[in-house]
Amino acid sequence: MTGRLLPSGERAVLVEADSLEELLELHRRLWVDDRAPGLLDAVAGARTLLLVADSAAALAGVRSAVQEALRAGSGTGSTTVPAQGGSAPAARVPDVAITVRYDGPDLAEVAELTGLSSHEVVAAHTSSLWRVGFSGFAPGFAYLVGGDPRLGVPRRPTPRTRVPAGAVGLAGEFSGIYPRSSPGGWQLIGHTEQVLWDLDRDPPALLRPGLRVQFVDADAVDADPVDVDGAT
């Protein structure tokens, strides 16, 4: 695993990774599994990880932790993001389950683009254990990765001026959920009633970098009710 360390003020360092998979692995090592000493915050992007130390004096230790994590990850080829779609290994369970009503206006178009039936699109979307790669665009919007590669579809050629809150979409390698009504160009395949951003919740974002996410077909839940609530 390789990365380029760039200074970012007196208390932060910006790490540039070669791939999103490597970046997620670095984020996991430094923030999720075991917080690096002196690390106050870790902000993930598509190829960058901003690491903020709790003081200027602690920054050297944070940089050392990054270099150690990079060395530890070199040559392993491992990543916490599934390389292929399909069912997740039994030992890996989701941190968050999202119940979706697959009634999106673009479901039929996604089926045509992928060469799948609408039922197969839903099956592919729900059978993968997705991972929150990074956040952006709007508070609470998470870019989910690790899905079935057959679901890779382009954004719509003309964005919608209004996408309702809770809309579940696909764009490129990502899946995402609109946390509030806004313009958007993703292919919409369904919607969820779960709240993605709530200022009265701690933390406000339901989906945060590193969390594993399972989509659940609401029609299947109606037929055979199970407990699919929220997050840990």
Q: In this structure, what DSSP letter does residue 228 have?
A: -
What are the tens digits of pLDDT across the range 201-211?
A: 999 999 998 89
- Going by pLDDT thresholds of 50, 70 and 90, the confidence category of residue 142 is very high
The domain limits of the chain are 3-73, 96-223
Adjacent-strand bridge partners of 187: 170
- Asked whether residue 223 carries a pLDDT value surpassing 80, the answer given is no
- Architecture (CATH level 2) of domain 96-223: Beta Barrel (2.40)
For residue 227, CA distances in Å to 131, 170, 210 come to 21, 25, 23
Q: What is the DSSP-derived secondary structure letter of residue 153?
A: B
pLDDT in tens, 40-75: 999 988 889 999 999 999 999 999 999 999 888 665
Better-predicted residue by pLDDT, 91 or 209: 209
Q: Does the structural domain 3-73 have CATH classification 3.40.50.620?
A: no
Whether 152 shows a pLDDT value over 60: the answer reads: yes
| CA atoms lying within 13 Å on the CB side of residue 113 | 19
- C-alpha–C-alpha distance, residues 170 and 12, integer Å: 33
**What residues are paired with 44 via a beta bridge?**
49
